[in-house]
Structure 1
Amino acid sequence: MKRILVVRELRTGFAGLVVALALSGCATDRTYGTAPGIEIAQLEELPAPRIENLYVIGPQEALEIEVVGAERLSGTYLSDGLGRISFPLLGVLELDGLPPNEAAELIANSLRGTYLLNPEVRVLPSEIPPRTVSVGGQVNKPGEYPVPVRQSLLRVVNQAGGLAEYADLQDVLVLRTVAGQRYIGAYNIQAIQRGNYADPTLYPNDIVIVGDSPARRRLDNILRFAPLLSTSAILIDRIGR
């Protein structure tokens, strides 16, 4: 049986942060820490993004915005480093993380009534970037990897050259934003490999981070110096005779 423990951040003015800990086996106990303002809930899996909204507006992107019947408002707009644009009559608009249809709706609603009776707005990116998943941490080849629409966690890790020597198999994170809500799912990839629970599905714009295992590093360091320590002990013993 699989449990996913969810921790939700409830701070006003910030997007909520959810930490989903995927646990294999009902009796499994994994320690986690939470800060004030955290709500704990239960989920079966991380929510999936809407397929039509896999592309979202980000920083430094050129957008073709058309306001039908209002040529002075139509044109090419470049988002700044925070995903904002400066739009005539409306000033600065926050578009970061919005799909084009929601950005168009935001602009239309802001113009409606005060400036235009029933505005029709279209937002199109000048260039749609390739759909990718970002993989970092303890993998052999960190980087951005293409995904068609969806892909499994194990396949994406394999695309990144597999787990590195000091990867923590119980600490693999998946970061995802759905409808403005941020999520983090923590998975035990060894349990997934063994078939203890399903290989989770990843989507474009997900971020995967494979944790580091300090214990494995310490053990490796001990084994690395063990011959030297053994030889030294023998020499000291011989000198002491």
Structure 2
Amino acid sequence: MKLANLLSRVLMATLGAAALAGCQSTPPVETGVVRSTIPVDAELLGLASATRQLSVYPIGANDTLAITVMGEPELSINSVRVSQDGTFQYPLVGSVMAAGRTTEAIGNSIRDRLAARYLRDPVVTVNLLEQGSHLVTVEGAVESPGIFRFQPETTLMGAVALAKGPERSAALDQVVLFREVDGQQMAARFDLQQVRTGAMIDPVLFPGDRVMVGTNRRSVLWQDLIRTLPAFGIFATVLR
């Protein structure tokens, strides 16, 4: 059985079980951020560092940026919020499109426009101060499943904490993080107990991540999915 079909059937079974349990509405979006206190080894298990992960976030509406132009304090901005149309206003340049672009791409755009008319070889740095547009879904054996807003540096442990932690019936070694990367669905299995002790990396969340906390009582399909995934902490492509 292909992993894609298996994943699809697992998710359908999960939704069906939720419906039978009387869950008739979409969980409300909640706000908050929890940062894990577990130290993260940036190179452990081949995953990128937290800094690298943050640098590839696509910026969205309501995100807050800081812009620095070396040697040009008048053009440096401590805080600017991206509007609902995905843009923000910048001195001399005017409207800058930010939505869907990384901080590096935004900085390059500002640099090129400044260099075209105003400055010689400007050095522009754009940093993400606060995320206002990214969500994570936490499902399965947690106390309060739902959709949550998260801030920079929020990790897998933080996502589970936002959902009020795992239920007593949760299988802590059956936590799966689903993520879309370059249009491909990826999945990785984590053991929360090992994450808590620092033996396993606590991955930083990406926008749109989905966390599923399993139990030993879950369906055969779920157990098949768990067995199909590779070693802990390694993302595998889920074929469509």
Normalised by the size of structure 2, how large is the TM-score? 0.43
Larger fraction in strand:
1
1 or 2 for the larger relative contact order (CA 8 Å, sep ≥6)?
Answer: 2
Higher CA-based Rg:
1
